[in-house]
Amino acid sequence: MNCIIIDDEAAARAIVNQLCSKIPDLEVIEEFDNAIDAMKFLNQHLIDVVFLDIHMPGFSGVDFVQTLKNPPKIVMTTSDTEFAIASYEYEAIVDYLVKPITPERFEKCVEKVKNSLTQQPKVIEDETSSTETDEDLYINIDRRLIKLKLNEIMVIEAKGDYIDIKTEKEDYRVHTTLKKIKAKLPEKLFLQIHRSYIINFTKIIDIEDNSVLIEKNVIPISRSNRPELMRRLNLL
Amino acid sequence: MQETPNLNYIKELSGDDKTFEQKFIQILKDEFPVEQRTYIDHIERDEPRMAGELVHKLKHKFNILSMSEAYEYAIQYEEELRAGGTKGDAGFRSILETIKNYLNTI
């Protein structure tokens, strides 16, 4: 297995290179201090995995991933866990490593890359299958990434610079916006019914006048969102 | 902040590889003063957001030198700089001086 390392900091590149040197069948072909040069290199060379820093000036790691047409396997490296969440948006990204990277964590990452290289391409699911409801969402709380089952989320409420996520098991407060989380939620399950609320459509118990009841939560429905809610109801 | 830098993480990575250890220390010695100078330049030119980019880089070095308190300070300060504030400058410079002095001893 071969790899390249992209990071604008020499110290960070040296660390990844050293970690790679401990893995018997992993060869570092080249290091780059910017993503543009790496892109040129990838156009001419077949590479199995890229260790890519997210936070680089000018052309970031995320820009790099978005620009590549046929990307190799990518491992994001970052000192901020919040960026790690964005990593899950791209299929080519198999793992993320939070700096400082430990040898143990690096070994696990390489195993993950090897597994993903040997995996068969995914079969595209029928649109009607229920896999969408089995998807997970990772939220960042106090530098921990917590996995939530999308189908266990009941209500999401905007609270200034934060959102409150109410699930069947627990409630969480996350530093993000309603708009950002809405973009990550499947429309089939979720619906914004008010400027400050997104609900899991399948959790509705009843609807009365201008509110929805989900478990013990009474959620207001705004006038502008009401038609869409009514359209999606299976009315008798 | 009286936190002392150390080479524990670098030694963990190096194992018996003294060549890597020396090479890495040299990288730190080369890279750190440049980043420190660039940070100060941005602050003096009243460019807090640009200074924030340097804080981002430098905080990684705090981690490498096992300075967890300094790292937490840098996280907060980076946010402050992104919002245009520079109140954390004095504390941050103090951390940088600690590291500068330490790198002179190794």
For B41-50, how does the pLDDT look when each residue is reduced to its tens digit (9 = 90+)?
999 999 999 9
Domain extent at residue A100: 2-118
User: Å from B60 to nearest chain A CA?
Assistant: 7
Asked whether residue A124 is domain-assigned, the answer is no
The verdict on B24 touching A (C-beta cutoff 8 Å) is yes
User: Å from A81 to nearest chain B CA?
Assistant: 12
Cβ atoms of B66 and B9 closer than 8 Å: yes
Q: Where are the domains positioned within chain B? A: 8-103
Cβ atoms of A74 and A90 closer than 8 Å: yes
Q: In sequence order, which residues have a C-beta less than 8 Å from that of residue B89 and are 6 or more positions away?
A: B43, B77
The verdict on A102 touching B (C-beta cutoff 8 Å) is yes
H/E element, B32: helix B18-44
Q: Which of A57, A99, A103 lies at the smallest CB-CB distance from B63?
A: A99
Count the domains in chain A. Answer: 2
pLDDT score for A88: 59
Considering the domain architecture, whether residues A103 and A175 belong to the same structural domain is answered as no
Among A97, A118, A139, residue at a domain's last position: A118
Cβ atoms of A136 and A117 closer than 8 Å: no
Q: Mean pLDDT in chain B?
A: 94
For A193, counting Cβ atoms within 10 Å of its Cβ (0-12 exposed, 13-18 middle, 19+ buried), the class is buried
% of chain A surpassing 90 pLDDT: 36
CB contact under 8 A, A15 and B64: yes
Asked whether residue A45 is domain-assigned, the answer is yes
Mutate to test the interface with A, among B8, B9, B13 (most CBs of A within 10 A): B13
Asked whether residue A123 is domain-assigned, the answer is no
Among A71, A89, A118, residue at a domain's last position: A118
How far is Cα B49 from Cα B53, in angstroms, rounded to an integer? 7
Query: What is the rounded average pLDDT of the residues B2-20?
Result: 91
Considering the domain architecture, whether residues A112 and A211 belong to the same structural domain is answered as no
How far is Cα A77 from Cα A210, in angstroms, rounded to an integer? 47
Considering the domain architecture, whether residues A154 and A114 belong to the same structural domain is answered as no
Burial B13-27 (b: 16+ CB within 10 A, else e): bbeeeeebbeebeeb
Among A118, A139, A173, residue at a domain's last position: A118
Residue of A nearest to B60 (CA): A79
Half-sphere exposure of B14 (CA within 13 A, CB side): 16
H/E element, B4: none
CATH number of the domain to which A181 belongs = 2.40.50.1020
Q: Is the peptide bond before B33 cis (omega within 30 degrees of 0)?
A: no
Asked whether the predicted pLDDT for residue B37 surpasses 70, the reply is yes
Tens-place pLDDT, residues A13-58: 999 999 999 999 999 999 999 988 898 898 888 899 999 998 887 7
Asked whether the predicted pLDDT for residue B71 surpasses 60, the reply is yes
What pTM, to 2 d.p., does this model score? 0.64
Tens-place pLDDT, residues A170-192: 888 888 889 889 888 888 889 99
User: Å from A11 to nearest chain B CA?
Assistant: 6
Distances (CA, A) of B60 to A15, B6, B44, B66: 12, 14, 23, 10
Chain A neighbors of B17, CB-CB under 8 A: 18
The verdict on B82 touching A (C-beta cutoff 8 Å) is no
Name the more confident of B88 and A98.
B88
Considering the domain architecture, whether residues A8 and A36 belong to the same structural domain is answered as yes
Task: Name the residue among A60, A44, A49, A43 with its Cα closest to residue A8.
Answer: A60
How far is Cα A137 from Cα A148, in angstroms, rounded to an integer? 5
Name the more confident of A142 and B96.
B96
CB contact under 8 A, B31 and A10: yes
CATH number of the domain to which A94 belongs = 3.40.50.2300
> Predicted confidence band at A83 (pLDDT cuts at 50, 70, 90)?
low
Considering the domain architecture, whether residues A111 and A13 belong to the same structural domain is answered as yes
